[in-house]
Amino acid sequence: MSATPTPDTGTLPVIEPDLDDASAASDEAAAQAAATYATPEADAAARPGLFRRIVGSVADPVLRILVIATLISRVGRGIFLTVTVLYFTLIVGLAPHEVAIVLGAASAAGVLSSLAGGWLADRTSAKRLLIVLSIVDGIGLVCYVFAHDFVTALVIAVLVGAVEQAANSTRMAIIARAFDGESRVHARAVLRTVTNVAIAVGSGIGAVALLAGTADAYRWIIVGAGVMYLAGVTQLVRLPAYVDAPKRVATDAAVITTATGSTDVAASARAERLARRAHSPWRDPRYLALSALSAVFGMQFGVGEVGVPLWIANDTAAPEVLVAVVLILNTVIVVLFQVPLSRGTHDLRRAGRVSALAAWLMAAACLVYAAAAGLPAGFAAAVVVAAAAAHAFAEVLSQAGGWGLSFELADPVQAGTYQGVFSMGYSLGAMVAPLFVTSTALTFGFGGWASPSA
């Protein structure tokens, strides 16, 4: 309300309503009424649709580039994973133990290159490094068609395995710099979801070679996988410059001058090396402990890829087709739940709780897998599916918690090196997993399954 000024005539002033205040009050009342009487149909209309939510989740230009590049290249990876073992045995003519040596050596090379990729991403352009590594990776896949014996297959597999893991560490360094807080974990979750979808599509394409069964079919499908990798590079060239490590600028503490005022280059270099060493993950006990735990979690993939299929085929009455069902179930759970269950894990406490829950779920899954032995076929299949569901959720949660911890505990000055150390731990766990699983769960039955769960 406002008072209209009047001449000094001895009469009372005339009070008129303030139209602005009345309008605001009316608007507020209307809003309250709308909120009170909103219908479920109105709420549903106000929420964005599924397509808009998907598009909105990749609204960031860097994430959009990485998603498209991952979608293209991982289709090629799915093709290759589908035909690898059979190509080595049926076409190249390797014995089973030779195939095991080839795959084990490739994993071992990846352990070392994980650290090298992150280290280089701190000292060179991460964008150019990722482009070069992706090109070499694609060419390496194509080179498998020239593998005609154990030695050539081993050399190519070691090269491809090393380059693949170095590229993964470089990609993690790019994510660490391009995003912050919750958006980093979100980006990693989206990329993992896209990876699973793309690998599933690639697996379907790779089945064409399996149906044909000829050497030419295998070789052409492998060439196609390499070409898909190279096609993904067309997106990586669009990454912005800020994904690279910031240029090192000499600080006052790092620039040593002589009495005459000239710069002591040698002393400045020593000071810079000391500064780098102060930010090294090798001097960070907490991060080293996290990387060691990531190696333990990395073994879950060996359980799923080696232990479960062999356990189903050799130690349970469940049909062997259940192996494919378990793989599909895992993919569906990752695609549906990786992004939503990763929310909030940028917070260290939440990431820790999520990781602990993942550990308990994985332990329970191991014990349930073991319980399938000796049961009738139908019951055994149901038990294995229940264990596989718990295993898949443990995988999703362990990834979400691990990303949050690895990003938030890392020193941003050496983001690439820190991510390289973390990735190296995971690669180490994945490398030793087949041997560990076969020597425990598959050898000792229930007691062996209980040892990973402990």
Q: Are residues 338 and 225 in the same domain?
A: no
Q: Are residues 294 and 365 in the same domain?
A: yes
* pLDDT (tens digit per residue) in 64-121: 999 999 999 999 888 888 788 788 888 888 887 888 788 888 888 888 898 899 999 9
Please state which of the ranges 21-25, 58-62, 400-404, 438-442 shows the lowest mean pLDDT.
Answer: 21-25
* Alpha-carbon gap, residue 110 to 108, rounded angstroms: 5
Whole-number average pLDDT of the chain: 80
Does 362 map to a domain?
yes
* Res. 178: pLDDT tops 60: yes
Q: Is 47 exposed, middle or buried, given 0-12, 13-18 or 19+ CB atoms closer than 10 A?
A: exposed
Share of the chain above pLDDT 70, in %: 79
User: Are 290 and 406 in contact, with CB atoms under 8 Å apart?
Assistant: yes
* pLDDT (tens digit per residue) in 180-215: 888 888 998 999 999 989 988 888 888 887 788 788
* Res. 18: pLDDT tops 90: no
Q: Are residues 330 and 223 in the same domain?
A: no
* Alpha-carbon gap, residue 428 to 449, rounded angstroms: 20
Residue 386 tokens read as: 């229940």
Domain boundary among 200, 224, 246: 246
User: What pLDDT was estimated at residue 42?
Assistant: 45
Does 35 map to a domain?
no
User: What pLDDT was estimated at residue 48?
Assistant: 52
Q: What is the dihedral of CA 303, 306, 308, 310, to 10 degrees?
A: -150
Place 277 in a pLDDT band, splitting at 50, 70 and 90: low
Instruction: Say which residues have a Cβ less than 8 Å from residue 336's Cβ, sequence separation at least 6.
Output: none
The total of structural domains in the chain comes to: 2
Q: Are residues 291 and 227 in the same domain?
A: no
Please state which of the ranges 65-74, 237-246, 273-282, 404-413 shows the lowest mean pLDDT.
Answer: 273-282
User: What pLDDT was estimated at residue 57?
Assistant: 62
pLDDT mean over 395-416: 90
User: What pLDDT was estimated at residue 142?
Assistant: 94
Q: Are residues 62 and 206 in the same domain?
A: yes
Angle between helices 377-408 and 322-342 (to 10 degrees): 30
User: Are 193 and 338 in contact, with CB atoms under 8 Å apart?
Assistant: yes
* pLDDT (tens digit per residue) in 24-58: 444 554 445 444 444 444 444 445 554 455 556 66
Higher-pLDDT residue of 266, 431: 431
For 108, the domain range is 57-246
Q: Are residues 398 and 293 in the same domain?
A: yes
Question: What is the CATH number for 100?
Answer: 1.20.1250.20
pLDDT mean over 249-254: 44
Domain boundary among 219, 246, 273: 246
User: What pLDDT was estimated at residue 266?
Assistant: 53
User: What pLDDT was estimated at residue 53?
Assistant: 52
Alpha helices in 213-264 (DSSP H): 215-236
User: What pLDDT was estimated at residue 110?
Assistant: 86
* pLDDT (tens digit per residue) in 123-177: 889 999 999 999 999 999 999 999 999 999 999 999 999 999 999 999 999 998 8
Q: Are residues 238 and 302 in the same domain?
A: no
Nearest to 356 by CA among 404, 385, 394: 394
User: What pLDDT was estimated at residue 454?
Assistant: 55
* Alpha-carbon gap, residue 80 to 137, rounded angstroms: 12
pLDDT mean over 439-448: 78
* Alpha-carbon gap, residue 313 to 131, rounded angstroms: 41
Share of the chain above pLDDT 90, in %: 37
Please state which of the ranges 10-14, 18-22, 285-289, 385-389 shows the lowest mean pLDDT.
Answer: 10-14
Does 17 map to a domain?
no
Q: Are residues 106 and 201 in the same domain?
A: yes
* Res. 21: pLDDT tops 60: no
User: What angle is formed at CA 201 by the lines to CA 200 and CA 202, rounded to 5 degrees?
Assistant: 90
Nearest to 301 by CA among 416, 375, 199: 199
* pTM beyond 0.75: no
Please state which of the ranges 153-162, 180-189, 328-337, 443-452 shows the lowest mean pLDDT.
Answer: 443-452
User: What pLDDT was estimated at residue 140?
Assistant: 94
Does 193 map to a domain?
yes
Q: Are residues 240 and 288 in the same domain?
A: no
Q: Are residues 319 and 197 in the same domain?
A: no
Q: Are residues 128 and 225 in the same domain?
A: yes
Residue 364 tokens read as: 């329970």
Q: Are residues 311 and 195 in the same domain?
A: no
Does 276 map to a domain?
no
N-term to C-term CA, the chain: 73
Place 254 in a pLDDT band, splitting at 50, 70 and 90: very low
Does 115 map to a domain?
yes
Domain boundary among 246, 263, 296: 246
User: Are 288 and 416 in contact, with CB atoms under 8 Å apart?
Assistant: no
User: What pLDDT was estimated at residue 56?
Assistant: 60
Please state which of the ranges 4-8, 72-76, 230-234 shows the lowest mean pLDDT.
Answer: 4-8
Does 7 map to a domain?
no
User: What pLDDT was estimated at residue 100?
Assistant: 78
